[in-house]
């Protein structure tokens, strides 16, 4: 991580980032640019350095903040119309920890509204364009953050991953994207999507930067009862020997070039002396169906608070209390938000709960157990992130199921709560599009997983 | 299972959406497709399997019963609403 | 049923009422169930006890109050209930301005308190189906053209107690409500302030022809906040439903409101189809697992319950008197702490003096020490204090200025201690008998005029400034005038 010091002024670093953001504005990466605050903070850090005072581990480092993190700088809208005008008096724990180390937010990044999507086309502000091909999607839901790092505007960006929202856009744009073990980073102050699978993570250019950010942002938080006791910084290093590959993913539903990339990577690891273990994980076939029951249920519940009464949008049409709810929610949510809320209310409604929600919760148990068994046979698992590289804008946005299939290889990690890192693994021959692979580890193996990621970089 | 128009309207009511005709129609097809997909789970045998609601191995996480300063004041919170009166949130008359 | 609860309708047909009661108890925790703001909003400004969590900002998560869990354990014990080792929270969804999250956090699938029972003063047992924890809702105030929302009450910790339909009369409904109130107060989990809604009752009533297999259609009367209104509402519903049946009509399953002024229930506007709350396990709160050790430790200082006091004082306090005293937990606690032999006198002082005081309410919250009261009783028994003096000193024990001075000192300062020392008394008697103005009376007495003795006793009392014990004086005089 390049931080400000006597030779690199924070103001220059921030100004450079702001200029790049301006230069790439036609990629629709940012929903808000934090110029004034950012330069002010940079100046303060430069003064500290000049006075020879101690500065943080991220002093003067410009970063991009996904639009679903609460902070008083700019409106927090989760790229949704219904949160228009909402400036938070509260700061998310993760944001506070970054700022305490001197990191400087230069802008909020575009996302699928409420993180519902895999292309950032579901944003109220319109889609973000891929870093390598502006006719293609950035991936999602954290599309803006991935592209901001891929184009070198910032050294790192925050993301949230409920079913692949960090790993898939990272792989579509050729950067590192990490979804930690569930409960590693506090969710306090992050707009909730699905509480039992939501994870906070980052986009970086290197595994080393990822490790630094994790050691800063991780840790138990009294404001989030589902945070684990501080384990990340106290992890004993453990070297890996066996790497697993999942047979069930090696079929024509996955793009040939991605499967080639996976083969090359495993061959490289074999040469380095790693044992490659073939895994059969039949329950993963049902992960996506279980995911699209459990997550919409939690989404429908978590989005009940957006009602036009206490904050955010209130429909102009509203005339009485009923219409404040109905019209505000109807106007404020994107079509995909509505689909998920209605599916969620369907699987929870009386008569369907057992057949759908409860059934999915049981399937989830089988998926958790399948990963536990797998990690008795290997230290890490190497899989594709998504079945295909970045697709064309508009190609899937009107076909929800096709869009959901994008997540087929990423959601099982969220259901099991295990960590996954998306790593760059070359480009496609024809279109020169980034290919990503993901390294999956057991719960709480995060620090060692990031160390193993360095092993996977081609010489 | 088949999704009828009244099912969509019922779900819209549970979700508090004032859907117009056109939207209700397109949602009908979308939801039918999604429900068809998630219904694949029927194939999976979950006989005798316990459900998992949280992938978090901890339990009994609670706090002391002590008053503490909060992250936002009443004024900051009420500033967020469209209209406040006498330190309360003003809404059209609720029947 | 052991007893005959049947109610006879106009046409002489007999009907059996069946009643189940749901009771919401507000817990007396310092802070709310999910945030560290003041849980006691009485007399505070609207929305002054509201955190970003209660206001339901995006990204806010519940922070569970451990003491609420402990209170639930105590409440369960008070009702002889199983405490479930595994419990969870769930979300109950509905849109209303008093519910900022759009759902209430409650316990639907795995409540913390299992089956138990409450024993009424009559000895009748009402079974508890279960009891669960949940957060309260906010308050709406309605005006001509608008409503105002105050979120102070949002997520005040509640325990909802669900009874089995074991109640069959308005009287038992009243007694059950009252006994619940007593149990929760004795267990120390609520302030029990009914006027401020600390306990609210929802009453389900149905009637069926006597001997019928199936129960009749039930109605629910919500938000009753006094034992009397519970009793009256049930009485009214039984009458009304019998009339409906006698008119050959069907009772409608509905929620009805209670009007205390008219003493009637009226149907409330409600959606035809029953609400679908879409209960879902709460993913933001880890499960609660209570070990035997935890429960034992929480209950090691568990206080006596009304049933225990009934047992304890069966022979010392008359039943009807005891039932009155049981409405005053602090009094019962004090009686429990006192010497067995003083109970009768204390009960007498509590009922005839303390409860008669206009300040009794505040006195009850700050009773004198058992030591002071025991001392008072002893002085009374030793005749050191006359019965009037005893009452006077008793009241002084409540006087803030007198607090902690000790009963004897207070009695001394007030000069109320009777002179029982025979030697001293004899001297006083002698000085009186030596006075010329008593000579005649002495002669008359010796001549057999009994009544003049009263005059002489009076003189001695006067000489002793009222401190002499009259009966002792009488004895000495009789001796000396033989």
Q: Nearest by CB to B27, which of A183, A197, A338?
A: A338
CA distance linking residue A59 with residue C56, whole number of Å: 33
Q: How far is A207 from chain B (nearest CA, A)?
A: 26
DSSP string, C408-451: HHHHHHTT---B--HHHHHHHHHHHHHSGGGHHHHHHHHTT-TT
pLDDT attached to residue C448: 86
Return residues 272-291 of C near B (CB < 8 Å): 276, 278, 281, 283, 285-290
List of chain A residues whose C-beta atoms are within 8 Å of the C-beta of residue B31: 339, 342-343, 346
In a domain, A322, yes or no: no
pLDDT at C389: 87
**C66/B56 touch (CB, cutoff 8 Å), yes or no:** no
Q: Tokens 């990339």 correspond to what residue? A: A261
C141 touching A, CB under 8 A?
no
CA distance between the termini of chain A: 21
CA dist A358 and A347 (Å) reads 9
Subunits with at least 3 CB pairs below 8 A relative to chain A? B, C
Question: Domain map of chain C by residue range?
Answer: 7-292, 304-413, 422-480
Confidence of residue C478 (pLDDT cuts 50, 70, 90): confident
* Residue with the larger pLDDT of the pair C442 and A19: A19
Assess A305–B contact: CB distance below 8 Å, yes or no: no
Cα-only R_g, chain A: 21
Give the closest of B14, B43, B89 to A349, CB-based.
Answer: B14
Nearest to B62 among C65, C150, C281 (CB): C65
Q: Å from B72 to nearest chain A CA?
A: 6
Q: Does A180 map to a domain?
A: yes
Q: Tell me how far apart the alpha carbons of residues C86 and C80 are, in angstroms, rounded to a whole number.
A: 18
User: Exposed e or buried b for every residue in A335-364, given b needs 16+ CB within 10 A?
Assistant: bbbbbbbbbbbbbbbeebbeebbbbbbbbb
> Which residues from C are below 8 Å from B17, CB to CB?
none
Half-sphere exposure in the Cβ direction for C157 (13 Å, CA)? 32
* C positions 254-313 inside 8 Å of A (CB): 276, 278-281, 283-286
Closest Cβ opposite residue C289 in set B59, B77, B91 = B59
d(CA C440, CA C93): 96
Rounded Cα distance between A293 and A302, Å, is: 14
Note the pLDDT of residue C449: 86
Q: How sure is the predictor about C359, in pLDDT bands with cuts at 50, 70 and 90? A: confident
Question: Are C57 and A191 in contact (CB < 8 Å)?
Answer: no
Catalytic entry in A9, A79, A145, A165: A165
- The CATH number of the domain holding residue A19 is 3.90.1300.10
Could you tell me if B70 lies within 8 Å of chain A, comparing CB atoms?
no
3-class DSSP assignment, residue C90: strand
CA distance B66 to chain C (A): 6
Q: Is pTM, for the whole model, over 0.90?
A: yes
- Separation CA C100–CA C146 (nearest Å): 18
Q: Encoding tokens for residue A374?
A: 């797998």
Q: Which of B12, B40, B93 sits opposite A289 (nearest CB)?
A: B40
The overall longest dimension of chain A from CA atoms, in Å, is: 70
- The pLDDT assigned to C200 comes to 97
**DSSP string of A55-78, one letter each residue:** --TTTT-EEEEETTB--SSS---T
The Cα B59–Cα C158 span in angstroms is 21
Axis-axis angle for helices C370-381, C329-337 (nearest 10): 60
pLDDT at C1: 45
Region C109-122 average pLDDT: 96
Q: Does B38 sit within 8 Å of A183, measured CB to CB?
A: no
Chain B residue numbers touching C143 (CB-CB < 8 A): 93
A379 inside 8 A of chain B by CB: no
Residue spans of alpha helices (H) in A248-286 = 256-271
Q: By C-alpha distance, which of A411, A130, A398 is closest to A294?
A: A411
Closest CA to A426 of A418, A413, A417, A435: A435
Shortest CB distance from A326 goes to which of B18, B26, B27?
B18
Quick one: closest CA in B to C143, which residue? B93
Rounded to whole angstroms, the Cα distance separating A362 from A368 reads 10
- Residue C450 pLDDT: 85
Place of tokens 């993190």: A69
Determine which of C52, C57, C59, C146 to mutate to test the interface with A (most A C-beta atoms within 10 Å).
C59
Please give the residue of chain A at the shortest CA–CA distance from C64: A225
Of C384 and C60, more confident: C60
Asked if A43 is an active-site residue, the reply is: no
The verdict on a CB contact (< 8 Å) between C97 and B94 is yes
- Is A126 among the domain residues? yes
C160 φ/ψ angles, rounded to the nearest 5 degrees: -100, 120
Task: Tell me the C-alpha distance between A157 and A148, whole Å.
Answer: 7
Give CA angle at C104 (B75, A327), nearest 5°: 70
- Range of A102's domain? 1-308+341-459
A165 is catalytic: yes
Does B55 contact chain A (CB < 8 Å)? yes
Q: Which of A141, A142, A186, A386 is catalytic?
A: A141
Within a domain: B61: no
Query: How far does B19 lie from chain C, in Å, by closest CA?
Result: 17
Q: What is the 3-state secondary structure (H, E, C) of chain B?
A: CCCCHHHHHHHHHHHCCCCCHHHHHHHHHHHHHHHHHHHHHHHCCCCCCCCCCCCCCCCCCCECCCCCCCCCCHHHHHCCCCCEECCEEEEECCC
Angle at A188 between CA C90 and CA A421, to 5 degrees: 100
Please judge whether A404 and B34 are an interchain contact, meaning their C-beta atoms are less than 8 angstroms apart.
Answer: yes
State the Cα–Cα distance between residues C50 and C68, nearest whole angstrom. 18
Tell me which residue has tokens 């009511």.
Answer: B13
Other C-beta atoms closer than 10 Å to the C-beta of A412 total 30
Instruction: Please give, rounded to a whole number of angstroms, the shortest distance from the CA of B77 to a CA of chain C.
Output: 7
Distances in Å between the alpha carbon of B15 and those of A143, A298, C289, C326? 28, 13, 34, 50
- Tell me how many residue pairs between chain A and chain B have CB atoms under 8 A apart: 162
Give dist(CA C12, CA C306) in Å, integer.
40
Among A72, A85, A89, A181, the residue to mutate for chain B (most B Cβ within 10 A): A89
Q: Which residues pair with A77 in a beta bridge?
A: none
Q: Does B91 touch chain A (CB under 8 A)?
A: yes
Contact C149 A297 (CB under 8 A): no
* C221 strand-pairing partners: C203, C256
pLDDT (tens digit, 0 to 9) for every residue of chain A, 459 residues total? 999 999 999 999 999 999 999 999 999 999 999 999 999 999 999 999 999 999 999 999 999 999 999 999 999 999 999 999 999 999 999 999 999 999 999 999 999 999 999 999 999 999 999 999 999 999 999 999 999 999 999 999 999 999 999 999 999 999 999 999 999 999 999 999 999 999 999 999 999 999 999 999 999 999 999 999 999 999 999 999 999 999 988 888 999 999 999 999 999 999 999 999 999 999 999 999 999 999 999 999 999 999 999 999 999 999 999 999 999 999 999 999 999 999 999 999 999 999 999 999 999 999 999 999 999 999 999 999 999 999 999 999 999 999 999 999 999 999 999 999 999 999 999 999 999 999 999 999 999 999 999 999 976
Locus of tokens 């009094």: C331
Please report where in the chains the tokens 């404020």 appear, as a residue: A332
C37-55 pLDDT, tens digit each: 999 998 899 999 999 999 9
pLDDT of residue B1: 73
* Residue C272 pLDDT greater than 60, yes or no: no
Known catalytic residue at A141: yes
CA atoms of C419 and C61, how far apart (whole Å): 71
Query: Given pLDDT bands bounded at 50, 70 and 90, which one contains residue C424?
Result: confident
Per the structure, the complete domain to which residue B38 belongs is given by 5-43
- Compute the half-sphere exposure of residue C430: CA atoms within 13 Å on the CB side of its CA: 6
Higher pLDDT, C422 or C196: C196
Residues A435 and C228: their CA atoms lie apart, in Å, by: 74
Q: Tally the domains of chain B.
A: 1
Q: Is B62 exposed, middle or buried (0-12, 13-18, 19+ CB in 10 A)?
A: middle
Looking at residue A329, its pLDDT comes to 98
Which of C61, C145, C271, C276 should one mutate to test binding to chain A, selecting the residue with the greatest count of A CBs within 10 A? C61
Q: What is the pLDDT of residue C270?
A: 63
Preceding omega of A141 cis (within 30 degrees of 0): yes
Read off φ and ψ for residue C427, nearest 5 degrees: -55, -50
B70-92 residue pLDDT tens: 999 999 999 999 999 999 999 99
Mean pLDDT of B11-35: 95
Domain membership flag for residue B28: yes
Number of structural domains found in chain A = 1
Confidence at residue C274, expressed as pLDDT on a 0 to 100 scale:
63
Yes or no, beta carbons of A310 and C283 under 8 Å apart: no
Q: Which residue of B has its CA nearest to A70?
A: B71
Reported in sequence order, the residue ranges of A217-371 that DSSP labels E, i.e. its strands, are: 242-246, 275-279
Is A300's Cβ below 8 Å from some Cβ in C? Answer: yes
* Touching B: C residues 139-168, CB under 8 Å: 140-151
- As given in the structure block, the two tokens for residue A71 are 């902070």
Chain B residues with CB-CB distance to A366 below 8 A = 44, 46, 49
- Residue A309 CA to residue A82 CA, distance in Å, equals 11
Structure tokens, A402? 């096709």
Residue of A66, A97, A396, A447 with catalytic role: A66
Query: CB-based contact (8 Å) between A354 and chain B?
Result: no
- Nearest chain A residue to B62 by CA: give it: A225
C331 phi and psi angles, rounded to 5 deg: -60, -45
Q: Which pLDDT band holds residue C471 (cuts at 50, 70, 90)?
A: confident
Residue A353 lies in a domain: yes
Which CATH topology does C422-480 take?
Arc Repressor Mutant, subunit A (1.10.10)
pLDDT at C358 over 90: no
Residues whose CB falls within 8 Å of the CB of residue C362, separated by 6 or more in sequence, listed in order: none
Beta-carbon separation of A345 and B89 below 8 A? no
A320/B92 CB distance under 8 A: yes
CATH assignment of the domain containing B11: 1.10.20
The chain B residue lying nearest C93, using CA atoms, is B14
> Is A327 within 8 Å of B38 when comparing Cβ atoms?
no
Cα atoms in the Cβ-side hemisphere of radius 13 Å centred on A6: 3
Residue A87 corresponds to which tokens in the numbers above? 């400036």
In a domain, B23, yes or no: yes
Q: How many CB atoms lie within 10 A of CB C131?
A: 25
Given an 8 Å threshold on Cβ–Cβ distance, is C147 in contact with B92?
A: yes
């Amino acid at each position: 991580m390049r931080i400000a010091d006597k030779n690199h002024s924070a103001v220059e670093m921030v100004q450079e980032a702001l200029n790049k953001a301006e230069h790439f504005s036609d990629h629709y990466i940012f929903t808000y640019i934090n110029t004034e605050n950012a330069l002010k903070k940079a100046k303060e850090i430069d003064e500290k350095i000049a006075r020879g005072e101690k500065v943080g581990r991220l002093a003067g480092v410009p970063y991009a903040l996904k639009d679903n993190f609460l902070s008083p700088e700019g409106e927090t809208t989760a790229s949704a119309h219904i949160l228009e005008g909402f400036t938070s008096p509260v700061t998310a724990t993760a944001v506070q920890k970054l700022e305490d180390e001197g990191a400087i937010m230069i802008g909020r990044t575009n996302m699928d509204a409420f993180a519902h999507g895999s292309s950032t086309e579901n944003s109220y502000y319109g889609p973000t364009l891929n870093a390598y091909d502006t006719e293609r999607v950035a991936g999602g839901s954290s599309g803006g953050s991935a592209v901001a790092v891929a184009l070198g505007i910032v050294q790192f960006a925050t993301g949230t991953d409920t079913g692949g929202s960090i790993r898939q856009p990272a792989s579509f744009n050729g950067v590192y994207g990490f979804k930690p073990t569930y409960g590693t980073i506090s969710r306090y102050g992050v707009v909730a999507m699905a509480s039992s699978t939501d994870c906070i993570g980052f986009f970086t250019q290197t595994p080393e930067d990822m490790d630094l950010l994790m050691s800063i942002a991780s840790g138990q938080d009294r404001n989030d009862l589902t945070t684990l006791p501080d384990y990340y910084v106290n992890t004993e290093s453990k070297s890996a020997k066996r790497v697993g590959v999942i047979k069930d993913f090696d079929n024509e539903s996955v793009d040939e070039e991605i499967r080639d990339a996976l083969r090359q990577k495993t061959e490289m690891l074999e040469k380095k002396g790693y044992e490659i273990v073939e895994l059969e994980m039949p329950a993963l076939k049902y992960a996506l169906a279980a995911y699209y029951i459990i997550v919409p249920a939690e989404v429908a519940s978590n989005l009940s608070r957006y009602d036009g009464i206490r904050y955010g949008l209130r429909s102009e049409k509203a005339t009485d209390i009923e219409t404040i709810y109905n019209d505000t929610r109807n106007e404020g949510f994107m079509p995909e938000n509505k689909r998920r809320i209605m599916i969620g209310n369907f699987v929870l409604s009386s008569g369907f709960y057992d057949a759908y929600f409860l059934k999915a919760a049981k399937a989830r148990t089988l998926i958790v157990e399948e990963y536990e068994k797998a990690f008795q046979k290997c230290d890490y698992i190497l899989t594709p992130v998504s079945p295909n590289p970045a697709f064309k804008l508009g190609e899937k946005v009107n076909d929800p199921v096709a869009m959901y299939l994008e997540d087929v290889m990423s959601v099982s990690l969220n259901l099991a709560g295990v960590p996954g890192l998306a790593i760059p693994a070359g480009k496609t021959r024809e279109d020169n599009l980034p290919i990503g692979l993901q390294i999956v580890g057991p719960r709480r193996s995060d620090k060692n997983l990031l160390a193993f990621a360095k092993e996977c970089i081609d010489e | 299972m088949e999704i009828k128009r009244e099912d969509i309207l019922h779900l819209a009511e549970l979700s508090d959406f004032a859907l117009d005709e056109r939207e209700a129609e397109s949602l009908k097809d979308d939801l039918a497709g999604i429900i068809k997909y998630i219904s694949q789970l029927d194939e999976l045998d979950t006989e005798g399997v316990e459900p998992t609601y949280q992938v978090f191995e901890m339990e009994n996480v609670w706090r002391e019963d002590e008053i503490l300063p909060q992250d936002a004041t009443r004024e900051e919170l009420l500033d967020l609403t469209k209209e406040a009166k006498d330190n309360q949130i003003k809404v059209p008359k609720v029947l | 049923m052991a007893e005959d609860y049947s109610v006879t309708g106009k046409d002489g047909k007999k009907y059996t009422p069946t009643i189940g009661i749901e009771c919401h108890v507000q817990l007396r925790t310092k802070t709310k169930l999910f945030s560290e703001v003041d849980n006691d909003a009485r007399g505070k400004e609207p929305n002054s006890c509201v955190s970003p969590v209660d206001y339901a900002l995006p990204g806010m998560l519940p922070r569970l109050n451990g003491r609420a869990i402990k209170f639930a354990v105590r409440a369960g014990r008070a009702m002889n209930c199983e405490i479930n080792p595994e419990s969870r929270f769930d979300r109950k969804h509905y849109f209303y301005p008093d519910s900022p999250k759009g759902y209430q956090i409650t316990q639907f699938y795995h409540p913390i308190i299992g089956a138990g029972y409450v024993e009424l003063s009559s000895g009748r047992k009402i079974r508890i189906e279960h009891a669960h924890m949940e957060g309260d809702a906010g308050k709406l105030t309605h005006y001509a053209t608008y409503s105002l929302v105050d979120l102070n009450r949002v997520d005040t910790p509640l325990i909802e107690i669900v009874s089995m339909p074991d109640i069959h009369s308005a009287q038992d409904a009243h007694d059950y409500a009252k006994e619940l109130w007593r149990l929760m107060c004795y267990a120390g989990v609520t302030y029990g302030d009914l006027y401020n809604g600390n306990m609210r009752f929802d009453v389900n009533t149905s009637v069926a022809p006597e001997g019928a297999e199936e129960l009749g259609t039930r109605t629910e009367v919500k938000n009753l906040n006094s034992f009397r209104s519970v009793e009256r509402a049930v009485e009214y519903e039984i009458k009304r439903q019998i009339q409906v049946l006698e008119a050959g009509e069907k009772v409608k399953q509905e929620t009805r409101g209670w009007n205390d002024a008219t003493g009637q229930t009226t149907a409330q506007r409600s959606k035809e189809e029953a609400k679908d709350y879409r209960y879902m396990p709460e993913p933001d709160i880890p499960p609660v697992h209570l070990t035997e050790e935890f429960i034992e430790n929480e209950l090691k200082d568990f206080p006596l319950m009304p049933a225990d006091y009934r047992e304890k004082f069966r022979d010392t306090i008359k039943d009807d008197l005891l039932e009155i005293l049981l409405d005053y937990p602090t009094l019962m606690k004090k009686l429990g702490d006192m010497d067995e032999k003083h109970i009768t006198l204390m009960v007498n002082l509590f009922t005839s003096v303390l409860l008669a005081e206009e300040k009794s309410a505040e006195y009850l919250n700050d009773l004198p020490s058992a030591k002071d009261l025991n001392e008072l009783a002893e002085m009374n028994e030793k005749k050191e204090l006359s019965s009037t003096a005893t009452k006077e000193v008793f009241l002084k024990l409540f006087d803030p200025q007198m607090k902690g001075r000790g009963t004897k000192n207070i009695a001394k300062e007030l000069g109320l201690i009777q002179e029982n020392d025979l030697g001293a008394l004899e001297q006083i008697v002698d000085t009186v008998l030596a006075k010329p103005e008593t000579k005649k009376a002495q002669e008359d007495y010796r001549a057999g005029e009994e009544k003049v003795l009263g005059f002489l006793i009076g003189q001695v009392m006067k000489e002793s400034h009222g401190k002499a014990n009259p009966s002792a004086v009488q004895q000495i005089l009789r001796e000396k005038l033989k």
